[in-house]
Structure 1
Amino acid sequence: MDWDLPERPLVTAPVDLSSVSSEQLVQHLKSCIETGNVAGGLSALSKFVGADGYLLARQELNSENGLDNVLSSDWPFDLVRKRGAELIARLARTTELEKCLSVLQPAFSVATEEGYGLETQSCEYCTIIFNAGRNRYCLMFLCPADVILSQQRLRETAMLTSYFASLMFQDVTKVTREMDLTDRELECLYWIAEGKTSDEIATIIGISKNTINNYITSVMRKTATRTRSEAIAYAVRHNLV
């Protein structure tokens, strides 16, 4: 494997990334960031954790974006289309509290795949959700047959991927949920976070209660939250209030 490093290679052949230290991997990720090599960085992270392949998706507000949210993957396209779409649809149905509690917690699932050029038809997947800045990402690994991936190494890899994504996509990821909110919606979100009722907010801002409720409904729709409490939790996590 050619690392394209400016100095000595990260490892010598044969390549065994499971024995590479986190510090060495960080140096390689820095090189990938400088050259814009997304696939190279994610491939190294996948091998570091001992997985057979990776899929990285950005969790957006609108599930209609579908596979546009998949940033990079080395899986066969049909597998990306199937598993990636299922992943995004499942996350769209997850509450804000559940999303927060699942951060950096590896979740395993087994599915039977047909074709796709895989060695085995029964495949185990590991999904990890992590935050990078104000954005949330989903990292999915394809587990080797008859191999149990270390949860400690998975969490460590998720942290390294967060570092990688925060720098690699800082100029690319501009369309986020909070940027869809208008100034008036953000103002209403601030006041409900302060514990104000719709009547109180209407008095403070100087508009009708029905208009306030419309703004709050719009906030919950745009942030994919179901209650005011979830909207507040979302606002706190994204530093909006």
Structure 2
Amino acid sequence: MEISQANVAWSFESAAPPARGWGISREQLIRRLGETVNRSGLGSGLAALTEYVGASHYLLARHDLSQDGGLDFVICSDWPFDIVRRLSRIVVGLNAKTSELEKCLAALQPCFHPMPDDIDLPRGISRSYCAVTLNVGRSRLLLMLLFPQDVILSQDGLRDIGVLAGYLASLKADVSVRQEREFELTDREIECLFWIAEGKTSDEVAVILGISRNTINNYITSVMRKTATRTRSEAIAHAVRHNLV
């Protein structure tokens, strides 16, 4: 995507938070983000946002693909690798504790979470980390920040860099929905989900589709596993948000 330096400077000028007393200045942030959009990689822009808000390390991950237990949901990070290896369990835990409605309401709302006791952090780094959920199209992303022990991160600043991180990711990262079969809903699963969303019971859907009640329940269970939802209502909300039904 071709974007002129002037247009980039204008867009960041209007969106960037006011200057704070640490890290890089507002003018430096605008310049570095402009360079990132035109020439550099996503990491350079995330590093600028991290420094500006007073944090020390960044990690941007897909928040809707973490249930596979691997590290391929990590988009860009400068966290120490031994910590990154543990991230799958951390992000899965964050997903499991919130409903689909809560996930939608949590967008751009910074949250602080304790780091597991068995993780060794660099000296001087707080044992809490900050997580900001953001959306890029249909993809839900999670910006996770480590920060020094003596730094209090600004809620307004975190929301601002969440918006800018989403903008950068939309331009610099491939966050399209992964096309692996494991995470795709089949036509039959979507069909079952549609009838459930219409208020039909498993027995009624079984009669409509001409298959057994157990098969219907298996399809719905598969849908909840793939969408990381816990109930049929959450699965329906997920499907509506992603225009599946």
- TM bucket (normalised to shorter chain) is 0.7 to 0.9
For 2:97, the aligned partner's letter is: T
Matched length:
226
Cα distance per residue 1:32-65 (max 9 Å; x no partner): 3454602111111212222111111112445233
Identity across aligned pairs (percent)?
Answer: 52
Structure 2 counterpart of 1:48, one-letter code:
Y
Cα distance in 2 for partners of 1:178, 1:232 equals 19
Q: 2:48 aligns with which of 14, 25, 44?
A: 44
Q: 1:221 maps to what in 2?
A: 225
**Does the alignment pair 1:93 with 2:96?**
yes
Instruction: Name which of 70, 76, 82 aligns with 1:78.
Output: 82
Measured on the aligned residues, the alpha-carbon RMSD in Å equals 3.2
Evaluate the alpha carbon distance shift between residue 75 and residue 230 of structure 1 in structure 2; reply closer, same or farther with a 3 A threshold: same
Runs of 5+ in structure 1 lacking a partner? none
Give yes or no for the alignment of 1:164 onto 2:164.
Answer: no
Q: Note if 1:107 corresponds to 2:111.
A: yes
Secondary structure in structure 1 of the residue aligned to 2:211? coil
Runs of at least 5 residues in structure 2 that lack an aligned partner in the other structure: 10-21
User: Which digits, 9 at most, give the CA deviation of each residue in 1:206-226, with x for residues without a partner?
Assistant: 333333222212211221222
Provide the TM-score with structure 1 as the length reference.
0.78
**Alignment map for 1:1-241 (pairs within 5 Å):** 16-20=23-27, 24=30, 28-29=32-33, 31-35=35-39, 37-61=41-65, 63-82=67-86, 84-97=87-100, 98-111=102-115, 118-120=122-124, 122-170=126-174, 173-175=177-179, 180-241=184-245
Superposition deviation, residue 133 in structure 1 = 1.2
Residue identity opposite 1:138 in structure 2: L
Residue identity matched to 1:19: R
**Which letter maps to 1:107?**
C
Contact kept, 8 Å, 1:113 with 1:123, in 2: the verdict is no
CA distance in 2, matches of 1:136, 1:66: 17
Give the Cα separation in 2 of the matches to 1:233 and 1:152: 29
